[in-house]
Structures are given as structure tokens and as C-alpha cells.
Chains A and B, each alone.
Chain A
Amino acid sequence: MTGRAKAPAASGADPRAWVITGARPLGGEPADFLLSDGVIAEIGAGCDGGAEPGARLLDADGLILLPGLVDLHAHLREPGREDAETVASGTAAAALGGYTAVHAMANTDPVADTAGVVEQIWRLGQQAGRCDVQPVGAVTVGLAGSRLAELGAMADSAARVRIFSDDGRCVSDAVLMRRALEYVKAFDGVIAQHAQEPRLTEGAQVNEGEISGRLGLAGWPAVAEEAIIARDCLLAAHVGSALHVCHVSTAGSVEIIRSAKAKGWRVTAEVTPHHLLLTDELAASYDPIFKVNPPLRTAADVAALREGLADGTIDCVATDHAPHSPEDKETEWAAAVFGMTGLETALRVVHAAMVETGLLDWAGVADRMSARPAAIGRLDGHGSGDRGTEHRGTGRGAGGHGAGGHGAGDHGAGDHGAGDHGAGDHGAGPRGIGRHGCLLTPGSPANLVLYDPAPREAVDPAAHASKSRNTPFAGMVLPGQVVATFLRGRPTVLDGKLAR
């Protein structure tokens, strides 16, 4: 039976070796994979693990093999709101969604603005063991937007923080944003901005447009996001620093980022699964399950976001997984908190929004959900496995490397050369394997996900491992299912269920 793990020989509960047969790497031709000692030891037809006594067999006939997914943006709520999520439950959700690494946002209580707190979160991730947890550090003390947190201390800590963000709040002060962008150059950091002009969004509830007017809910104009992104791109260019734009949600934002990349500026961007699939029409129910920051936008914005992700303007998909307790959501719209869960549905949503529409092939999905986020997050052993590959200036007409102060050798001139993405990703599988060969090559860390594209089932929140149920996709029929996830050769998910 497909996807069913078997033990061909006597073996312990946690064998050191796995043989995966018939998997289609990046959706390409089927191959067999031997995982041993945490790495992909061998690839080819008929590697039956005979050389590895005790190896377990996983029949992956028809399943797509992708590198383990990497999320740049998740709220794991610990410490502070363990009723909504913990590192343990959040990483379980991540594993079930096919993720092998997640970045934990800093808006915990206490805020992750010191080396002590980021190390605590990092250790909780290590204990949970299902998924690497990379803490994001706050840019400003207490997310208050008034003075810089000790970014260097967080970078030098055991958590090795490289992404800094006040996510949930915007670093709206232009001087503070400039200083943050400049300061993190010393340790190859990146500032991930939650782009929301605060004065333009006071009390804002839904995208400003036809829907906000009809529903009588305070409007959240696109310009509130776009003005900050434009300013930050200019600041990043001015000081030669790396900017990452969180959860891009408007067509105008895509245009601004496209133009910044065309100039060779060091700007990367992410889009959430929900902004790729849902529109502000859903607010007409006044059900706060659809209340999110930034808000759901129009169908035209969704189309532009999909196009931007396809052509590489938007580098990656990030979930902005934001679990909330029922009492924070089962209220009037204006009284409810912002946010949606996303880790357990992200790949299926991207499948529906990008693959079924022909905008990305599976190699493209691997790039946008694994290789690029790993590169932006400077993660070892995830995605490309090629640390330091910063996909700056990818996409249309990119001039390659920006004017940063980094050695050229630091930027993966090999497999991920600038301009290599974009339209080229529409190629068929085998070509994708070649280009992304480092992802699934012998010797690479065995961070993998096996995905069955065939099923079509309604999303059932009750089956989620997240402690929270605030998924906007509840009841929606989506394609696909994550069958197995491997973290350094060890299964965290088997048969679609948590391993161990």
C-alpha cells in the first residue's frame, strides 16, 4: 500500500536507515532513495537497503518527493499564550504540513527581544524534536518601536538569530528602520518588515474597497502596506542592506518589489497561503475566522500575488500561522483578534492556487517553500543545504548581487544563480531536478516530505495538531495530502500521522 511503512527486516522502533521506493523527486521520474545517518545516502532504481540491515521500507509509489518545507513566519505563541499554541504543538502541526524548519516570530510574552528568550524558544524546539525551530528576534525592545533590541546578542546566542522582525507591528519610524537595516549587516542579518503604516490603519478591519464600504467595517487601504514597502526598499538600497517583506498582500506591493529587484536591491518577499486563495468577499459573513493582518484583499490582488510568486518577484510562501483561542475569535468582527492557522494546510493551498493553475510545477514549489526561505533564513541543512545562498535579485531582469558588503562566494553562484528562477521554473521535472539537484542529492541532509497529490478532501480542523482551530479553510475541499515528513532521516510523520 502506497505510503505504508514496512519493516523488511527486524528493526528497532527508530531505524537508522529508510528506503523510499518509487518516489517522484520534484514531481519527476520515480526513483528509490536510501536515507542513512541523517542524509540521503543513495539514489537510484533498486536501492533496496540491502546494504543497511534494519532499514525500513516505505513504498512511495506515486508520491511526490520534495525537500522539507521551511517556514519563515509562524507564531508558536510560547512563551505566553500556551493555551493557543506551544512549541511542541506548533512543531507537530508543522511536521504534519511537511515542514522541517519553522521560524518562530518574536511577538511572544515575554517578547523575544533578548538572547535569553530566543535561546529558550530555540531549546523548546530542540526538545520537541519534530521540526527545527529558528527563533526570529524582535527589532525593537518589547516591539515598542522606540529603541533597538540587542540584535547582536541574539545573533551571537545559541539560537543564532538572523531574521529580526517586530511582526504584528510595523517598524514605522524611518530612522529606526534605517538603523536596524544597517546594524544587522555586521552579522548577515535581515530585517523582516510587517509593512503597515499605523496612522492609515487605525481601527482598520478589512481591505478598503467595495467590501469595506458595503459592510461598514473600517477600511485598510492597500497604500498603508505599499507606502511602507516603497520606503523600506529605498532605505535598504540606500544602506545596502537586506530587507525581507512579510506577507505581501496587494498587487501594488508586488509591483514595488518587482521594480526594487530589477534595480538589484537586496529585497526578498513572502506571501501567505491564504492571500493566494481567499478574498475579502469572505468578510461578508462577519465571521472573524477570516480576519487577518494584512487583510484578505480582492481577486485582482490574489491574481497579482500568484503571478508574483510564479515569476519570482515574491521569493517564497510563508504561513503566518497565527493560532488563537476560540474566545478570541468567536466574537463580533471588530472585537476579534487578527490571524489564521496555516502550517497544516499550506502545501495543499499552494497546490490548489499555484500547481493546479499551472503557475508553478513541483520544482517551483520546492523552490518557493523550501530552498528560498532556507536561503533567506540562512539555515543550514534545509532547502538547498547550501548555506549562504541568498537569492537576492532573482526574478525578472535581476542584476544579480546587490551592493552589500558580502563576498561573492557567499551567494551560491552555483545552482541558484540570479535570474535562474522565474519563468524557467515552468519547466518539467527532470530539468528542475538538475537545477535543484543539491536539494535531493546524495550527501544532502535527509529533510524530506512525501506528498500524495491525488486525494481531494475537505479540511477538518478537528484533525489538526495545532492547539487552535482558527483555519479559514475549514470544510474547504483541497487537493493533496502530506504522507510522510523526514527530519534528518528520521520520520516525524508517517501515513499522514505524527510518528512516534
Chain B
Amino acid sequence: MNRHLISAADLSRADALLILDTADELAQVADRPIRKLPTLRGRTVVNLFYEDSTRTRISFEAAAKRLSADVINFSAKGSSVAKGESLKDTALTLEAMGADAVVIRHPASGAPHRLARWVRGSVVNAGDGTHEHPTQALLDAFTMRRRLGRLDGLRVTIVGDVLHSRVARSNMLLLHTLGAEVTLVAPPTLLPVAVGGWPCSVGYDLSAALPKSDVVMMLRVQQERMSAAYFPSVREYSRRYGLDADRVALLPEHAIVMHPGPMNRGVEIAAEVADSARSTIVEQVANGVSVRMAVLYLLLGGSEAQQ
């Protein structure tokens, strides 16, 4: 494995499977009375969050703590970042403190790439702008494999704002690596112009795609897209690209419904669908901790520490 996890494209098929298998083992820890392993004792993990994301930060924090790492949460609000300190200076500060891993969430695409040039520790991308969110893709793949037993040949339909979605980018790359067949469904305004070169199929008709889907993953519609003429109205978006009960009925019996959260209930996903038995949304959150434990464990040489 690489020293960093910045893009899902950094992972070979073997790397990705190793992470998923390790996450399977580590998930058992959650079922023990004492949910803690000593593996990363004495190691320091910094959560460097330039965007509000309670869900992802808590997930990484829980993962690091269950491996006994020391966790420092560094949020842009109320820190020197708010006073205008550059990413580089913040990176040099973290470096001086001896961070073994920096988990970074940043609104600018590529910020983790920059950070990786300035620190010696491992950089884990916890979401950068409209680029990637590789641990989300890993936890999604983990969830699919647990529910459906395989990834190879699995038909996954990703629906919504692909253009601006880091979740879609990372999922498309990782699922391709793992042998799944990805279909993107979106209004044409929310697809990259060169999406034809991506290793996936593209469609504009959700209802047509659903019968051929083992997994349907709904993406969040961001508030700022709603006011920028990407589509005429929220209602029209919802009618054409929202997943309601009628559309769910088009899915094969075994198919599952995923959403990276947070959801806009009633926009991209109907409440009854989000809360149905097909929905894996709550599972995804739980699996997030196991997968992030596996990533930190493998990046920080946990396997060596145990020997």
C-alpha cells in the first residue's frame, strides 16, 4: 500500500481487498465487551477538518481511539486557520508535533495532495472539495459485500450530482477496481463533460436503470446546486431523479439502497425508502468505523507493531 490514502485510484485490487478483509476482522471488535485494541498505542492521529462534518470526524475519531491512538482534533473554526494561517504553515505545525497520520477534510480539491508534500506522516483524505472521499467508497464497498456477498460483477447505479460529488468519484474508481459494473444516472448538467472516458456507463433515465441494479446509491443534492440553474426546480429534480416507493418497486428483489448522508428526505430519497429494510444507510455509518480502523491500521504499520 501507498503511504497515503488520497484517491481511490491509489488502491490496487489487492490493497482494496486487504482493507475490506481487515475491516471484517476489526468489525468483530465492536461486538466485544471492551471495544479497544492496543495496536496504535503511542501513535498520534490528527483530524484536520476545514469543513463541518461531524459524521466523518466522529467516525475517524472512534476508529483511531479503538486502536488506542492519541487523537488530536483540529478544526478550522476557532483555530489559527480562522486567523488566516496557510495550509502549509498548519502542516508544518503538525509535522513539528509529530503527527503519524493526518486525516484531512478540506473544501478545496487536491488539498490532501498538497498536505502530503509538507508532512512526513500518512495523509488520509476524508473528503476534498469536489474530488474524492476514498474511505466513503471503501465503507460503501464493505457494506455492499456484507449485504450481497460479492463485488465482482455487481451492478451499481449511482444517482445524482456526479459532477460535484467526491463520493461518486471515489466509488466509481474503487468499484471499477473491484470488478463491479457502475452506471451513473444524472441530469446531463450534473455530469462532467468528459464522463464518456470514465470506466462506467452513463444514463439519464433512473427508472430504466433500476431493474438492472443490484445497488442504487443516491447522492445528496447540495443546496448551492439548487440555485445555480443545474435543474429547473427541486420538485422537477425529485420527480426525475428522486427515489420514491414506486421506483424502488422497479428494483430486483435483492437490491439495496444506499446514501452517504446527510440525506435530503423528500428530495433525492423519499422518507419511506430511507427507512425501509432495503436501506443500508445506518449500517453504512457503523461500517465506516471498521473501515477507517482498517485504513489507519494498515497505513500506520499496525501489522508490524503486532509482530
Contacts and interface: CB of A to CB of B under 8 A. Distances in A.
Given A331-B87, A331-B88, A334-B129, A216 B169 contact: yes
B57 interface: no
A335 B129 CA distance: 12
A212 B195 CA distance: 10
Most chain B beta-carbon neighbours within 10 Å: one of A209, A216, A333: A216
B108 A333 contact: yes
A215 interface: yes
A221 B86 CA distance: 30
Interface string A299-335: 0000000000000000000000000000100111111
Given A331-B87, A332-B108, A286 B194 contact: no
B155 interface: no
A218 B163 CA distance: 9
Contacts of B163: 213
A208 B192 CA distance: 9
Contact of A210 (B88, B166, B169, B194): B194
Contact of A212 (B108, B129, B192): B192
A213 B129 contact: no
B193 A327 contact: no
B193 A285 contact: no
A474 to B, nearest CB: 14
Interface in B95-147: 106, 108-111, 113-114, 128-132
B223 to A, nearest CB: 16
A286 B110 contact: yes
Contact of B193 (A209, A331, A334, A335): A209
Interface string A230-254: 0000000000000000000000000
Contacts of B230: none
A216 B194 contact: no
A215 B109 contact: yes
Nearest to B115: A332
B232 interface: no
Interface residues of B, number: 25
Nearest to B110: A286
Contacts of B197: 210, 213
Nearest to A283: B110
A402 interface: no
B147 to A, nearest CB: 28
A332 B192 contact: no
Nearest to B116: A286
Given A331-B88, A332-B114, A219 B109 contact: no
A221 B128 CA distance: 22
A124 interface: no
A217 interface: yes
Contacts of B106: 332
A327 B89 CA distance: 10
B198 A213 contact: yes
B109 A334 contact: yes
Contacts of B193: 208-209, 213, 219, 221
Given A215-B131, A216-B129, A327-B86, A332 B195 contact: no
Contacts of A213: 163, 192-195, 197-198
Contacts of A286: 109-111, 113-114
A317 to B, nearest CB: 29
Interface in B15-57: none
A330 B89 CA distance: 10
Interface in A20-71: none
A132 B139 CA distance: 62
A286 B115 CA distance: 11
A440 B296 CA distance: 68
Given A215-B131, A332-B87, A333-B108, A209 B114 contact: no
Contacts of A334: 108-110, 129
A214 B88 CA distance: 24
A199 B110 CA distance: 24
Contact of B109 (A217, A327, A330): A217
A258 to B, nearest CB: 25
B109 A331 contact: no
Contacts of A209: 193-194
Contact of B86 (A210, A215, A285, A330): A330
B128 to A, nearest CB: 8
Given A213-B192, A216-B129, A330 B110 contact: no
A278 B132 CA distance: 25
B88 A333 contact: no
B194 A332 contact: no
Contacts of B113: 285-286
B109 A333 contact: yes
Contacts of A287: 114
A298 to B, nearest CB: 10
A216 B114 contact: no
Contact of B114 (A208, A214, A327, A331): A331
B110 A215 contact: yes
Interface in A199-229: 208-210, 212-219, 221
A386 to B, nearest CB: 46
Nearest to A216: B131
A218 B195 CA distance: 14
Contacts of A219: 192-193
Nearest to A286: B110
A38 B129 CA distance: 58
Interface of B: 86-88, 106, 108-111, 113-114, 128-132, 163-164, 166, 169, 192-195, 197-198
21 contacts: A208-B194, A209-B193, A216-B109, A216-B129, A216-B164, A219-B192, A219-B193, A221-B193, A285-B113, A286-B110, A327-B86, A330-B86, A331-B86, A331-B87, A331-B114, A332-B108, A332-B114, A333-B108, A333-B109, A334-B109, A334-B129
Shortest Cβ-Cβ A-B pairs, 8 listed: A286-B110, A213-B192, A216-B131, A332-B108, A216-B130, A286-B113, A216-B109, A210-B194
Given A210-B197, A212-B194, A217-B110, 11 more contacts: A213-B197, A215-B110, A216-B130, A216-B131, A216-B169, A286-B111, A286-B114, A330-B88, A331-B86, A332-B108, A333-B110
